[in-house]
Structure 1
């Protein structure tokens, strides 16, 4: 198996990415792909695509300024929307994509990197993967649409119900994130 990681750097790659998601039946909101491409060109996001034996296997993004206020306040870039097509899972694609973005964060002088993960069973493999890679909860509890869920609140269990995790990078290994 040959695994190649490539940045989203051209409209040709953008079209390839959109087509692969369509072929695999993966939905994204209207304008999503174009927004990611635009943010990459503006320097606000890094988007990487993984290819296994020359076939698109997945993608990942690093939002340099997170929409999650706690990360934004602490200058923690957020790994976002990691997706690997089912036929390429359990081959190390996700781990390699995450590793590439961690290196990108280090190269940009960041001390930590964060990621949000859903809380229902479909996210179980991702939760285990992130824990195995050294990500720990940021200590701010459950978030819904990037707002803290308070005790007694009722929220919908969907893709917007998250817990955020963080990982110290390089010389910060072993330190508690932010505090």
Structure 2
């Protein structure tokens, strides 16, 4: 069994406002993220994502940063982090990130029309973050070559009715206090 699958099956479950939530190093930064798990995830992303000719990797702060940094190091593709604060730089683009948990403004800097980008994130749950990012990149005129999320939580999301194809490494659900793997290949 691969490390990602095993780590999810072993993930602690907490209840938050009636919602069963798994705690995982990729999505939460705890428990400890072992280098072997990160390496396995990066290799899977590189094999699965369309990275040929990509100019930049784009990821939201905060939990996409460690994954995207590792992919950047392995591919020599520069990394842009979408931040939760404005720096007021020229060509900064704001977007509203709305998830099932919160709503906030985020800011993209240093992505320009015509650039080919790979969007990476830790988890696809409600789809609010990835939808806002892809809409903003479309507004900028960037060419999104691929969108990859490491983990997809089962259930409807904002991308279901869109033409955005998100590749995932593993799909999960939480049933009766345990993580259930619904698709180990991850594509939907």
Q: Same fold judged by TM-score > 0.5?
A: no
Which TM-score applies when normalising by structure 2?
0.30
Which TM-score applies when normalising by structure 1?
0.31
More helix by share: 1
